[in-house]
Amino acid sequence: MADGVAVHAAADALIEHLGADMVLVGDDVERYCRDWHGDVTTGALAVIRPRSTADVSAAVTAVASLGLSIVPQGGNTGLVLGATPDQPLAQVVLSLERMTAVRRIDVDDFSAVVEAGCILSEFKDKVEAAGLFFPLALGAQGSCRIGGNVSTNAGGINVLRYGMMRELVLGLEVVLPDGTVFEGLSTLRKDNRGVDLKQLFIGAEGTLGIVTAVAVKLLPPVEQVATALVGLASLSDAIALYRRARRDCCDLLSAFEFMPPVAFTLAREAMPDLAMPISGDYPAYVLMEIGGSGLVDIEDLMQRFLEGVMEEELVLDGVIASSKAQSRNLWLFREGMNEGQAKRGAHLRTDLSVPLSRLAEFVDQSEAAVMKALPDCLCVSYGHVGDGNVHLNVLPPAGLPRAELDAFLYKAKSVINDVLDTFGGSISAEHGIGRLKKADFLARIPDVQAGLLSAVKHAIDPKLMMNPGCQLNFTAD
């Protein structure tokens, strides 16, 4: 498949099988072949854009008959190169972007069925209009698509209360590598008929099949929200505050985000007009949110909680948003700090988890090791610390030439991963493996797990045509 003539012939054959409406070739494929950060640009033999599950099935069959492979793609907002080809001349991207229907919202069942290509925020809006709530909340929610959320088992800011995407899925419709359709769109809340096959496709990053529709749990609407930003003496105190909040707030805590002081600097680099929400400088900050419906007075709960922890001096200072606008302003800092990092250019992004009880120790040790190895760097550690999840990012000094920059990023990652390994941590708390983390993943996976993954892959995708190169390298057994 390496030469141009064969590539053209294969693209022509796809158009012949599937019709010109479904297949993009040439320059039109470019926008499907750049990753979210714009760090990597690749290519694809074609992009297939089905409008229905039957189209996906036909596409899989056609691609298989040509000996090509498929890279499934949702919103292409993933952070680990799971949805962009690594063999542009032998791979087609299959984009779900035309399958956007919300098939149904069952208010009385607290459930919905939605096609894989529906954009997360559009789905959430429709659910809200129906009087319910879908809790998955990500920075990329205006662009990511719900099928990608399933395939990457997306996390985000509400995981500590509502779980990852896996815990929100009731059923799946999946086109398998042989073109048949796994019809599992049940909305039953409890269904315990043996091995739960749908679990295999959640987090599989399209390596076992193509998710075409999803049945999800919905929740009562969040009628009251209380958001607070507090200053503390240390990350360790922030974790103590989390443990305290889980008990005192009766498991109604829906977000608990740690930020270092530099968050404010970074946020204001991206959003210069942002008003400082809290006076005084503290070594650590937490943005926390409690939410609920009905008869519990959420704002009163937050007030009493903060009074208690301030009296004990666990929290040094704090503000509670008393309006939606104020709450939005607090969250802007959290979002702005990401934009500020992006504005400073390429840097190491990580997505690590360790046991909660050792998170502070891990961040201290990692930052010290990075600072020692790379004295000119800036460490920015923040994230969903209630889950033991931290994004320990490392920014290089400005103006490094490309080769030095690459060496810097590699060194920073290696130093952090070495510390991480001594804590029994995960190199991917929520982002997945894709192609970006594959080498680090494979270097750490025990032989028994690798053998099982390979056995499952060969059993379900014997031609190894579904997103090869993602998660695992397959060789003959």
355-414 residues near a second copy, rule: CB under 8 A: 355-357, 384, 387-389
425-464 residues near a second copy, rule: CB under 8 A: 425-433, 441, 445-446, 448-449, 451-453, 455-456, 458-460
Which of residues 48, 71, 114, 181 is near a second copy by CB under 8 A? Answer: 181
Interacting span for a second copy (CB under 8 A) from 65-73, 120-128, 240-248, 319-327 = 240-248
56-95 residues near a second copy, rule: CB under 8 A: none
64: closest CA among 82, 48, 86, 76? 48
Residues in the interface with a second copy (CB under 8 A) total: 94
- Per CB under 8 A, 237 contacts a second copy: no
Binding mask 5-44 for a second copy (x = CB under 8 A): ----------------------------------------
To a second copy, the closest distance from the beta carbon of 28 in angstroms equals 31
96-115 residues near a second copy, rule: CB under 8 A: 106, 108-111
To a second copy, the closest distance from the beta carbon of 399 in angstroms equals 34
Binding mask 244-283 for a second copy (x = CB under 8 A): --xxxxxxx-------------------------------
Of 219 and 369, CB closest to a second copy = 219
To a second copy, the closest distance from the beta carbon of 169 in angstroms equals 11
286-325 residues near a second copy, rule: CB under 8 A: 292-296, 301, 304-305, 308
Of 89 and 102, CB closest to a second copy = 102
327-356 residues near a second copy, rule: CB under 8 A: 353-356
Instruction: 367-373: list long-range contacts, CB under 8 Å, 24+ apart.
Output: 367/392, 369/415, 369/416, 369/418, 369/419, 370/394, 370/412, 370/415, 370/416, 373/411, 373/412, 373/415
Interacting span for a second copy (CB under 8 A) from 85-93, 202-210, 335-343, 408-416 = 202-210
